[in-house]
Amino acid sequence: MLNVAILWIFSCGIELGVVVLCLLPLRFILRRKVPRLFSYLLWCAVPVTVVFSFCTKLIVSLSKKTFDFLDERVPVAINENIFMMLKSFWTIGSIIVLVAMFVYFIWYRTYLIGSIRLRDNIYLCGRIDMAFSIGLFHPKIYLPTIVPDEYREFVILHEQVHIKRKDIWMRCLAIGLLALFWFQPILWLAYYLYNNDMEEACDETVLRTKEKEFRATYAKVLYDLTFEIRKVKGLALGFGNGAIKERIRHAALYEKESSKVRVIALGICILFMAATIPISWQIPQMVQTEQRIEKVKEKAVSIGIQNIDVRFIQQNE
């Protein structure tokens, strides 16, 4: 069972690489024309691909009334020693990613000891250098004490949007996918861009119902908390994370979009996620065909046939 799981992880990693490569140019276009929310939604194509890839393999196997999907044998096309090395390589890397994330989380939790409740689920802490929200079921907002009083409400509004949209759940999902497919370098780039889109989409949600004066002040707060306070304190706030220069520019120039633009952008996102389905279907089929060809060749050699036409095998698949 573990052998098949490892094979699926590596094949799905290839699929995800193709999906992200297709997603990046579309993301670039959407960011220039429509709200950041929709470039953020585009990243849903990654977990959708993973789920569909798994379901595709399972359904194909069940439709053939076989248990090839659950077969623990290593395919003949892969040398057993090489396969064992790949399995060890993936296991060690995945453990390192998970342990690193866990240690980072525990390390941050220790800094929250002694926090003072400001109101509701909002706390002040003198030991942290960034504002953030934490907690899956009962999220709390932590603000550094270095944030000036007149800036706190802007930061709180931003973090409250993260909580309302369940962004922390989505980030946990993204980290889980990174731990699973850590060997795919383009997914690390995707994670970085995903976080930038998440922050900018959050800014837009805060600004959508506000007047131009508020938007200008919000951009100034972003600038001050990211650059001015850092010059004095040597610290950078989490509120100023992401592609900060782009966030400041976007907040200052933001204009509320029309409903028509939002509907079109949503349609594009749905069409793109639907277009990833053939990718999840074709790559596993190609791998399975290659494995069947190798098995037929091996059987032919065992009964004394030294040469067999691959085209004949493919035509009889």
Residue 102 lies in a domain: no
Residues 138 and 70 in one domain: no
- What per-residue confidence (pLDDT) applies to 96? 92
Check: CB of residue 109 under 8 Å from CB of residue 124. no
Residues 253 and 118 in one domain: yes
Residue 139 lies in a domain: yes
Residue type, 249: R
**Among residues of the chain, what percentage have pLDDT more than 90?**
7
Residues 307 and 225 in one domain: no
Total structural domains within the chain: 2
- What per-residue confidence (pLDDT) applies to 186? 92
Q: Which residues lie closer than 8 Å to 167 by C-beta, 6 or more apart? A: 198, 202
Rg (CA), the chain: 25
248-253: list long-range contacts, CB under 8 Å, 24+ apart: 248/219, 248/222, 248/223, 249/219, 250/36, 250/200, 250/203, 250/204, 251/203, 251/207, 251/215, 251/218, 251/219, 251/222, 252/215, 252/216, 252/219
Residues 122 and 73 in one domain: no
Q: Is 122 helix (H, G, I), strand (E, B) or coil?
A: strand
User: Which has the closest alpha carbon to 56: 91, 11, 86, 2?
Assistant: 11
Residues 195 and 249 in one domain: yes
Residues 132 and 253 in one domain: yes
Residues 235 and 281 in one domain: no
Residue 44 lies in a domain: yes
pLDDT digits (tens, 9 = 90+) for 109-164: 787 888 888 888 899 888 777 788 888 888 888 888 888 888 888 889 988 998 99
Last residue within a domain, chosen from 228, 257, 286? 257
Which H or E element spans position 7? helix 2-33
Residue 177 lies in a domain: yes
d(CA 191, CA 76): 35
d(CA 15, CA 21): 10
Residues 302 and 174 in one domain: no
Residues 118 and 240 in one domain: yes
pLDDT digits (tens, 9 = 90+) for 232-274: 443 334 565 557 778 888 787 777 777 788 888 888 888 888 8
Q: 10 lies in which domain range?
A: 1-78+271-317
Between residues 212 and 308, which one has the greater pLDDT? 212
Placement of tokens 């996620």 in the chain: 273
pLDDT digits (tens, 9 = 90+) for 40-92: 888 988 988 888 888 776 666 565 544 444 444 444 445 567 777 878 888 89
Q: Which tokens go with 294?
A: 């190798």
Residues 291 and 184 in one domain: no
Residues 15 and 74 in one domain: yes
